[in-house]
Chain A
Amino acid sequence: MHQIADIEGMNLLQANQDGADHNRAHFDAWGITCFNLMSSPGAGKTALLEKTLGALCDRHAIAVIEGDMTTQLDADRLRSFGAPVIPITTGRACHLDSKMVAGGMQILKEEHDPHRFDIVFVENVGNLVCPAEFEVGEHAKVALLSVTEGDDKPLKYPIMFREADCLLISKTDLAPYVDADIERIRENVRAINPRATIIPISVKTGEGLDEWYRWLEHQLPGQRPSSHQHMSHQDEIAAVT
C-alpha cells in the first residue's frame, strides 16, 4: 500500500471551488459583479429582486440567474424590468453549485452580450444549510432572514450567517405580529459575523431598501473599498492553517 502525497490537504470541494473561480474570472472579464442571494424558502428573495430591479434598472443593466423554483409569473414580473431571467436546472439539488451557474452564464452569453450587464443576481435554492458551503463565483454573498423565521436562526444555521457579506432582515413590517426581536437577530448575527453589513428591510413599507441599494452599488468595481476582500471558505481555512 502506498500513500498519495499530492492530493493530501486537498479541499473536499476543490472541484466546485475551481469552477467558482473560473466563473468569477468570466464575470470580471465581462465587467459584472455577481451577488449570490441565499435564504430559506419564502424569506422574500424574489420580492426583493422585484423591488431592486424596479429601483435600479434605469441606471444598471441587470440579469438574474434563477436557481429557485419560482412560478412563470415571478419570472415574467422580473422580466418586465428588462432583465433577462435565466432559469437553471437544479434537478432536486438543495443548493446551486458552480457548474450549474456556469450553465446559466453560458445561456447569458449565447442570448445576450454579457458585456452589456454590470450586475448579476444568482437566486440560490431556498435552504439555510447547503448553499453556504458551495461558492458559485459570486463577488458577495447576501443572506436574507425573515422576522417570521425566529431570532434563533443565526445560532442554528451559523455557517450561512458567518459567510454572508450582507444580511437582510426581511419582512420587518410583520415583526409586531410575530413578536420578533430585530435587535436580538442583529446580536445573534453579530456574535457569529461581526463584519457583515446588517440591514432590516421591508418590501411592503420600503424600510431599509435605499440602504440596500447603496450597499449593492458600493460593491461595484471602482466603488469597492480596497480593504474589501471577499474571503471564501477556502481562504478562511488557508488563513488559519
Chain B
Amino acid sequence: MHEVDMTKALFNSIEDWWVSQPERPEVETVHLLVGDFTCVEPDSLVFAFDAQKQGTFLGSATLEIERVPFVAHCHTCQEDYSPAIEHHYSCPTCQSPLDDIKSGRELKISRLDCRELSASQPVTAH
C-alpha cells in the first residue's frame, strides 16, 4: 500500500514547514487536492493518515481530500476532454495522443487549518 509512503511524504512536507514556525500551531485539518490522474487512492490515504498520525505533531489533525478531475487539452481540436482512465487517453474526437494535462496530476496541500497553541488566547486570522 503505497499510500503509507505518500503519507510519510506528506508528514515530511508539513513537518519541514511546521518546525520553521516560531509558534508551532496545532494543526486541525489538512486539506489536500488529489488529482484523478495520480497513483493515490483517497480512502487509503485517509486510512494511512489516521494510522500514522498517532503520537506525532499531527495527532489531532484530520485529513480532508478534494478530488480534481483528469482533464486533457487537444491541440488539434482546441478542446478539453476527460480521458477515460484505464481505457482511453487519446482525444475522443480526433484520436490525437494525450498531450497537455490541464488538471488531474495534483497532489497538493491546499490549506491547513490551525489552532493557536494557547486556547485561551483570542484566535487571529493571518
7 residue pairs A–B, Cβ–Cβ below 8 Å: A2-B25, A2-B126, A6-B17, A9-B108, A10-B13, A16-B9, A241-B106
Which residues of the partner chain B approach A162 to less than 8 Å between Cβ atoms?
98
Interface centre among A129, A134, A192, A237 (most CB of B within 10 A): A237
Residue of A nearest to B10 (CB): A12
Contact A4 B32 (CB under 8 A): no
CB pair B9–A12 under 8 Å, yes or no, is: yes
- The answer, yes or no, to whether B115 is at the interface (CB within 8 Å) is yes
Q: Which residues of B contact A132 (CB under 8 A)?
A: 39
- A236 CB-CB contact with B under 8 Å: yes
Smallest distance from the beta carbon of A211 to chain B beta carbons, Å?
A: 21
Q: Bits for A226-241, please: 1 = Cβ < 8 Å to B, else 0.
A: 0000000100110111
Closest to B28 in A: A1
What chain B residues lie within 8 Å of A190 (beta carbons)?
97
Q: Mark B25-42, 1 if CB is under 8 A from A, else 0.
A: 100100010000111100
Whether A12 and B108, one on each chain, are in contact in the complex, defined by CB atoms closer than 8 angstroms, is yes
B residues sitting closer than 8 Å to A (CB atoms) are 1-2, 5-6, 9-10, 12-14, 16-17, 25, 28, 32, 37-40, 85-90, 97-103, 105-116, 123-126
A93 proximal to B (CB < 8 A): yes
Instruction: Contact check, B89 vs A191: say whether CB atoms are below 8 A apart.
Output: yes
Are A237 and B13 in contact, with the CB atoms below 8 A? Answer: no
Interchain CB contact under 8 A, B126 and A15: no
Does A216 touch B at the CB level, under 8 Å?
Answer: no
- Contact partner, A2, options B1, B32, B97, B124, Cβ 8 Å: B124
A5 at the interface (CB under 8 A from B): yes
Contact A8 B39 (CB under 8 A): no
Q: Name the distance in Å between B3's Cβ and chain A's nearest Cβ.
A: 9
Check if A97 sits within 8 Å of B90, measured CB to CB. no
| Contact of B106 (CB < 8 Å), options: A127, A134, A156, A237 | A237
Kindly list chain A residues whose C-beta atoms are within 8 Å of the C-beta of B17.
4, 6-7, 10
**A8 touching B9 in the complex, CB below 8 Å, given contacts A155-B89, A190-B97, A240-B103:** no
